[in-house]
Structure 1
Amino acid sequence: MSRPSTLAPLLVFAMSASLSFGAPVAPSEETVLDTLHAGHPRLFLREAQWTGLKTRIASDATLRGYYEDVLAAADRYCTAPTLEYRKITIRLLHVSRECLDRTQALGMAWRLTGDPKYARAARDNLLAVCAFPDWNPSHFLDTAEMSHAVGVGYDWLYDWLDEATRATLREGLIRHGMKPGLDAYARHWFVRNAFNWNQVCNGGLVVGALAIADTHPEYARQMVPKAVVSLQNPLKTYEPDGAWGEGVGYWNYATSYTVYALAAMQSALDTDYGLSEMPGLAKAAEFPLALTGPTGLYLNYADIGGQARRGPLPCLFWLAGRYRQPAWSDAEHALLAGGRRAGANHLLFYQSPTREKVSRPLDTRFRGPVEVAVMRSAWDDPNALFVGVKAGYNRVAHGHLDLGNFELDALGARWARDLGADDYNLPAYFGNRRWSYYRLNSQSHNVPLLDGRNQHLDGKASITRFDSKEDRAFAILDLSSAYVEGASRVLRGVALIEGRRAALIQDEFRLARPCEVAWGMTTDASIQPSGATAVLKQNGRQLTARILSPAGASWSVESAEQAPPQAANKGVSRLIVRFSRPAGDVRVAVLLSPQWEDGETVERVPVKPLADW
């Protein structure tokens, strides 16, 4: 079996370190810099690794293609206007991210070609941001990402910069990044929390502090030990299976900055203090891969784009190397081979493709603070049937009131969808108006509704049973605490059945009082309802939704469109069945049947209690 090769001896740590998991041990302020690599560059790649990368580009056609993508981006940045201080409402984040993108591409292009035009363009942008009045510490993500950008630029361009420019960049980094960073460690909530802010803020500050640790060691001496302690909070939430409560989009953001922090420590200090040995991170790469449907769209929950599609994830290269899982880097190579452009991080963390055939499970359950089950009919068929369902907590960072929400792909299209996030700049989007917004509350999600009410904010759900067999698979969720105002028990079953050619969504309620029960599904398809049957059409394909229970129930169609300032949701509909029932037991069962190319569709299946599944 071939193994992915690494860039040079320094990175062998990422391949050969023990995979036995233990608790990280934070260094002391007195000893943390004892192993500091004193020269530059020391962030992510040292001089020998840059030399090795240049050699590899000449001999590795795949790597050479990625290198050409980075050069093309760097050429564009050479003629782009110099960055300016422009906030969008409370955020400078778009400028920080643009600075990081430019610095990585331009710095890498200079180190690999020696062409001074790249260094000049990077320097001009770095000087511009260091002359800003601040890096917007009131929204500290902006400060952290800018610290990352300036730290990388200072380190990678160090040999080209004159001493006066180095001093200016150091002063800007200290004034706008390091000093606010020390203040943040003393008082900011990101230090103790367990979501993306933690990794981004810690990662950006660690990179910045290590860049200047030889001339201004006081910042790294204080920040690195604090970061090692702080980062353990979010890294624990990956356990046990690598899932992420904020959805796949924020999985990428959080995990990328985890990788930045750990890789910077490894290259500058020869250790990450055991952080990469925390067990959940060792499985994290499975999460975005499993949650990508055959359409290329992610299973969507929390504040992620409503049509969020699997994009480049260069952190998969680092994870593949660290945990000896070439299938993860091969999955990223496959995506890039489909026409997506590589970025600088693909070169930094590069793993050679193996093209080994990997047999992945059709069905996966992820446990943890968020629980997710995904099931599919095939991995290598863009027309495959796929369904995913989400449990966990409603009260989570970037969360929606969406416990039990499902999404479904078939025939190359997404039929049941989540609308995703709305504009973060809506009034009180993260405050007391959050649950008034259609995309965030229960009304837009593919979840049961009782009397048209939202799920309880403190609701939580668990996957109580999960089963995967050759011809079928199912997950059963207990949603009861999300519906305490109307029911003493609410269960949802989601299954692929009949040789994985149809999906069944079945809900069981024990109503505590008379209620209107609603079952709804959001879709881009056109809908033709007729009693208990509805025909959905899009892209020349067809799916039939049949109400199997209760008898006599009929479909209706409602618009999902909203008035400004909310997102319009133009052309999106809700397929709904509503009926009233007295207190007692109620069952809703809906069969979703694609019309396959052979003309067959699953017409009807027997309805059994979830206890008998």
Structure 2
Amino acid sequence: MTNTDGALASHPRLCLGQGHPAGGSPLPTWSRSAAEVARRAEAYLADSSYDELHATHNAHLGRARRMQGRMLTLVAQWQRTRDARFRDAAVACLDAIDQWEYWSWITWRMNDPRTDAIFDLSYGENSATLAFAYDLLYHDLSPAERERVADIAQRRALGPLIRIFGREAPWWFGKPDTNWNPVCAGGAGLLALAFRDELPEAKRVLELTEESLDPFFRALGETNGGCPEGLGYWNYGMRYAFLYLISSERATGGKHRLLRTDTVRASLSFPLDFCPHGTACSFGDGNHWVPLPAHRAAAEHLGAWEVARVLDDLSADIDLTVDYQNWATAAETVLWAPQPVPADAKPDHGNPPHAEPLVTVYEGLGWARVADRWPSPDFYLSIRGGTTEVPHGHLDLLSFHAVVGDERLIENVTPAEYLDTTFGPRRYELFEMLPQSKNVPLVNGVGIARPARVDPVPVHWASAAGVRLDATSAFGGGRDDEPLLAYGGRLFLMLGSAGALVVDRLELANEGRVESRLHTRARVERTATGARLVGERHRLTVALAASHPFGLTVAATVPTTPGDDATVLRWCGPQELGVDYWSAALLVPGDADTAVELEPGAGGARVSVRIGGQRTRVLLGPGLEVADVSPVPAEEG
């Protein structure tokens, strides 16, 4: 851990503004960002609507983030142009923050204006805003202005946080699996670094920040760098973690033990593993992601140049005029001034290229990705194993996303917005939280139950790769507390570069009904063997088979938010109830003539696959163990 008791660097000592934004960066993303900063800065001068509160969940957090973006944009343009209009407008932002009676949406709803009633996400973000403003403008502020900003920092953030800890540590303190920890602790830590020598509370806040972040990063090691809350919350939490840790290193001149680890380097790749071609394929509430400047800066800071190269490629396609989650992408890019990947940068062998199917399982987290090749897969699956008991989690074990090229054609249905019920005791009554909205098998109308855990087992056979999941216990009980299933499992198998096979076996404890669901936002065309999903740029052919006379039903979903409809393909068992069901879905990119046949037997099942003129035979054991994957000679076909 770095020593924050010793002498700190002079201002600017935090991570932003160290790259001399007036000189810039040769990267095309920097020049595009500089142009967007100039446009936005002028617009901000003509618009003082930063006090506006939108009628939405956690409105005060949205206001805080918009203000952070405004302030960073104005400061970046001031540093580039030395036009005092932008400096003055940035200082006015800080006065506006102080004038807000409520920083927190939570205490606003409680009608509790005490500044020390809570220290939540809004406090973390506002603290970071004050920290960067003071640090970046330090030499451009008058003594009176510095005193005024220090007073705001002490009165509205650091002082209240110390008083809160004097009563009881906030719930997020030291919590290993929530974005609240790095956002709240990281934001407070940035402010304490900025005011370490001016405010007496700063040293104690730095101690608390370090203590809080330690279990968060230890938990990150237990999931090999994966985030159980999903890609969107990885971006949120790790952004503040990186801002604080890199700032700590720059301020002290030391190396921070939480940053300089194999776990953090592995975590840099986590979003890329579940976002092929920039298409988010994670699970839970936060299935959205864009490359953020702090991610790129951390990769550069740690010399993870392969990650930096991928982020540069993805950033080239971002429309900077769009507000992605209100992040200040353009301003931060200008202030970070990222440098190009060195020509002699050594490849990062932690995520090497593969020309054949590749399966990666994040042990501890339980998520898996299966791709026909890596990087830049033509066909990709992400698969949800792990536990239901995670923040922002859904009842989505066994579910998956399927991406053809750069287009997600099979996806879980997830919330379009947050409502009071999203985080209340009735959360699991919402359609988007339930198995019925996921790409999963259902038994007697229900899916997996809470609490449950399913661990994916990697499968490799010649040119095929995938995962097998035993979810028998995850389906819980049926009537009279009897287990619903005697066996329940799912197999995902990528068949070379041709397509993927998804096989379910559901052996019920008593006679019952089963189905498997697939959700898509593509146009659905029925075919003789199943359906074809027609997207904007790509297509996916789905061939279906089962051990019994199943039927395909295509219907619209019923999401909580109107207008966010998807289409569901229901592969339903027969009217007559049964006990032992096998079903298979063959997923093939494109329009190939495709078919699949399934022949169960006493020792397992034979699955016969036809893709165009090529035939493949897959032999499975009773627990979906792969016994053989082999081409079928033409004379047998």
TM-score by length of 2: 0.82
- Partners in 2 of 1:206 and 1:99 — Cα distance? 19
Question: Does 2:304 correspond to 1:325?
Answer: yes
**Structure 1 residue 590 and structure 2 residue 585: aligned?**
yes
Change in Cα spacing, 1:482 to 1:68, as seen in structure 2 (3 Å) is same
Deviations 1:361-384 (A, max 9, x none): 4634242442222222345768x2
The residue number in structure 2 matching 1:68 is: 35
Does 2:330 correspond to 1:343?
A: yes
Residues 246-261 of structure 1: pairs in structure 2 closer than 5 A: 246-261=229-244
Aligned to 1:352: 340
Alignment deviations for residues 161-191 of structure 1 (CA, whole Å, 9 cap, x no partner): 2222222222222222112322444421110
Q: Map Cα deviations across residues 392-437 of structure 1 (whole Å, 9 max, x no partner).
A: 1111100010011111122653221122224212x42112211111
Match of 1:315 in 2: 294
Query: Gaps (5+ residues) in structure 1?
Result: 1-24
Matches of 1:299 and 1:89 in 2, distance apart?
Answer: 24
Q: Is the 8 A contact 1:517 1:580 kept in 2?
A: no
The reply on whether 1:608 has 2:619 as its aligned counterpart is yes
- Equivalent residues in 2 for 1:453-532, closer than 5 Å: 453-467=446-460, 471-485=463-477, 486-497=484-495, 499-529=496-526
User: Are 1:26 and 1:225, in contact at CA under 8 Å, matched by a contact in 2?
Assistant: no
Offset at 1:152? 1.0
For 1:602 and 1:238, how far apart are their aligned partners in 2?
A: 46
Alignment correspondent of 2:402 = 408
* SS of the residue 2:149 aligns to: helix
Structure 1 SS opposite 2:291? coil
Write the letter of the residue equivalent to 1:570: D
**1:429/1:201 Cα in 2 relative to 1: closer, same or farther (>3 Å)?**
same
SS of structure 1 residue aligned to 2:182: helix
Distance 1:221 1:458 in 2: 41
The alignment partner of 1:388 has SS state of strand
Q: Which residue, out of 308, 313, 329, partners 1:334?
A: 313
Secondary structure, counterpart of 1:277 in structure 2: coil
Contact 1:492 1:507 in 2 (8 A): yes
Give 1:282 deviation, angstroms.
Answer: 1.8
Instruction: Identify if the C-alpha distance between structure 1 residues 268 and 444 changes in structure 2 by more than 3 Å, giving closer, same or farther.
Output: same
Indicate how the Cα distance of structure 1 residues 547 and 121 shifts in structure 2: closer, same or farther if over 3 A, else same.
Answer: same
Task: Give unmatched runs, 5+ long, in structure 2.
Answer: 105-116, 321-328, 478-483, 595-610, 628-637
Task: For 1:264, give the aligned amino acid.
Answer: S
Distance 1:168 1:233, change over 3 A: same
CA contact (8 A) 1:329 1:351 kept: no
- Is the Cα–Cα contact under 8 Å of residues 118 and 164 in structure 2 kept in the other structure? no
| TM score, norm. by length of structure 1 | 0.85
Deviation of 1:299 (Å): 0.7
Whole-Å separation in 2 of the counterparts to 1:456 and 1:440? 12
Moved more, 392-401 or 404-413: 404-413
In structure 1, C-alpha distance between the alignment counterparts of 2:209 and 2:576, rounded to whole Å: 54
Deviation at 1:273, TM superposition (A): 3.9
Counterpart of 1:447 in structure 2 is 440
Distance in structure 2 (CA, Å) of the matches to 1:582 and 1:446: 22
2:145 equivalent to 1:165: yes
Aligned mates of 1:60, 1:462 — CA distance in 2: 42
Report the counterpart of residue 33 of structure 1 in structure 2: 5
CA offset digits 1:12-53 (Å, max 9, x no partner): xxxxxxxxxxxxx586xxxx322323x32222157xx455x5
Structure 1 612/276 Cα, relative in aligned 2: closer, same or farther at 3 Å? same
Structure 2 residue 202 is matched with structure 1 residue 193: no
Corresponding position of 2:570: 575
Contact conserved, 1:365 with 1:466, CA < 8 A, in 2? no
Q: Distance in 1 between matches of 2:59 and 2:473?
A: 36
Which is worse superposed, 390-399 or 338-347? 338-347
Whether contact under 8 Å (1:512, 1:583) holds in the other structure is: no
For structure 1, which segment, 515-524 or 588-597, has the greater mean C-alpha deviation from structure 2 after superposition? 588-597
Secondary structure of the 1:127 match is helix
Q: Secondary structure at the match of 1:285?
A: helix
Q: Given the alignment of the two structures, is residue 219 of structure 1 paired with residue 197 of structure 2, yes or no?
A: no
| Alpha-carbon distance in 2 for matches of 1:62, 1:376 | 29
Instruction: Name the structure 2 match of 1:229.
Output: 211
- The aligned runs of 1:370-385 (5 Å cut-off) are 370-378=365-373, 384-385=378-379
Structure 1 position 98 matched with structure 2 position 93: no
Distance 2:276 2:75 in 1: 36
* Matching residue's letter, 1:277: R
- In 2, the alpha carbon distance for the partners of 1:70 and 1:236 equals 37
Preserved CA contact (<8 Å) 1:591 1:604: no
Q: Deviations over 1:297-349 (max 9, x none)?
A: 111311125xx3x5232233233224322111111211232354352333416
Q: How far has the Cα of 1:570 moved from its partner?
A: 2.7
CA distance in 2, matches of 1:580, 1:513: 15
Q: Mapping of 1:359-438 within 5 angstroms?
A: 360-361=353-354, 363-378=358-373, 384-410=378-404, 413-425=407-419, 427-438=420-431
Per-residue displacement from partner, 1:251-278 (whole Å, max 9, x unpaired)? 1111111101101211222336411134
Q: Contact (CA 8 Å) 2:15, 2:246: kept in 1 or not?
A: yes
Deviation for aligned residue 1:474? 0.9
Establish whether residue 124 from structure 1 lines up as the match of residue 92 from structure 2.
yes
- 1:608 aligned counterpart, secondary structure: strand
Deviations 1:102-136 (A, max 9, x none): 12222222223322121111111111111221322
Answer with 106-115 or 69-78: which moved more: 69-78
Shift in alpha-carbon separation, 1:263–1:602, aligned structure 2, 3 A: farther
Q: Which residue of 1 aligns with 2:553?
A: 556
C-alpha displacement at 1:67, in angstroms? 3.3
Distance 1:161 1:587 in 2: 71
Letter in 2 for 1:348: W
Cα 1:64–1:495 change in 2 (3 A) is same
CA distance in 2, matches of 1:541, 1:423: 28
> SS of 2:494's equivalent?
strand
Counterpart secondary structure, 2:215: helix
Q: 1:121 to 1:201 in 2, by over 3 A?
A: same
Q: 1:553 to 1:605 in 2, by over 3 A?
A: farther
**Aligned counterpart, 1:15:** none
Give the SS at the match of 2:14: coil
Shift of 1:462: 0.6
In the alignment, the residues of structure 2 paired with residue 459 and residue 585 of structure 1 have an alpha-carbon distance, to the nearest angstrom, of: 22
